[in-house]
Amino acid sequence: MSRILVLTALDVEARGLARHLGLDPIHASSWPRYAGGSLEIAAVGLGARALAERQGAWPSPGVVVSAGACGALAPELEVGELVTPETVIGPDSRRHATAPLAGLPRRGMLVTTAQVVGDGAAKARLWLETGALAVDMESAAILSWAAARGGRGAVLRGVSDPADRGVPADLARVVSEDGRVHPMRAVTAVLARPAALADAMALRAGTAAGLKTVAVALAKLSRTL
C-alpha cells in the first residue's frame, strides 16, 4: 500500500481533515500529526515555513499532497468546491507540475503567493495576471520539496472564500507563521472592527466546507492507491 503524506498550513486544517477521516493523533509528535491506514496528515505552517524543521519525519515522502483551504480567483468557483490543479505557479513565477491522482481529474492552475490576498480587487488582479483558478500560500513550496526528494506531488484544495472576498489583514493576523490560530487575536480584531466577526464566521464556514470536500477526495485517493 502506498503511503500518502498530506501537508496542510494550519493546525485546524490538519485536525479537521483528521476528524473527517477518522485518523488518530501521533502523540509522540510535538506538532500536529495524525495517521491511519495509508494516510498521514501534518501541519507545516503558513507558506510551509515549518517544513524545513519538520521534514526529518518523512525521509521518503512517496505521494505528497498539499491539502487544505484555498481562495477562489475564478468567479465561477463556489465555496466548498474542490480544486485539483495541473500546474502551480510559485511566488517566483516558477511553474510546478502536479502528479495525476487516480479518480481525481486535474484542471487548470493554482497560484501560490507569499502574502495573504486581502480583498476581491486584489484577487481579480491576480486572476487576470495569472489565469489561475485559485490561490494559496503553500502548494509551490510543498511540490518543490516533494520533487527534491523523489516523491510525487499533488494538490487537493477546497475553496474557503469566493472570488469577490479575500481574507482581511486583521483576520490574517489571527494565524501565526507556524500555523496556530490564536483566539485572543480574533477577539482583538472584532473589538477593533465589529464587522470582523461576520467576516470570521463566513471564513470559518467556508473553510469547514472546503475541508469536508478535501476529506472526501482524500478518502477516495486512499482507497484507489
The count of structural domains within the chain is 1
Mean pLDDT, residues 10-36: 96
pLDDT of residue 2: 62
pTM above 0.85, yes or no: yes
Cα separation, 21 vs 6, in Å, equals 12
% the chain with pLDDT above 90: 93
% the chain with pLDDT above 70: 99
**Per-residue confidence at 3, pLDDT binned at 50, 70, 90?**
confident
Domain with 50, as residue range(s), is 4-224
- Is the model's pLDDT at 186 over the cut of 60? yes
Which residues, listed in sequence order, are joined to residue 161 by a DSSP beta bridge? Answer: 71
| 199-206 LR contacts (CB < 8 Å, sep 24+) | 199/168, 199/171, 200/171, 200/174, 202/161, 202/165, 203/160, 203/161, 203/167, 203/171, 205/79, 206/69, 206/79, 206/80, 206/159, 206/160, 206/161, 206/162
pLDDT of residue 61: 86
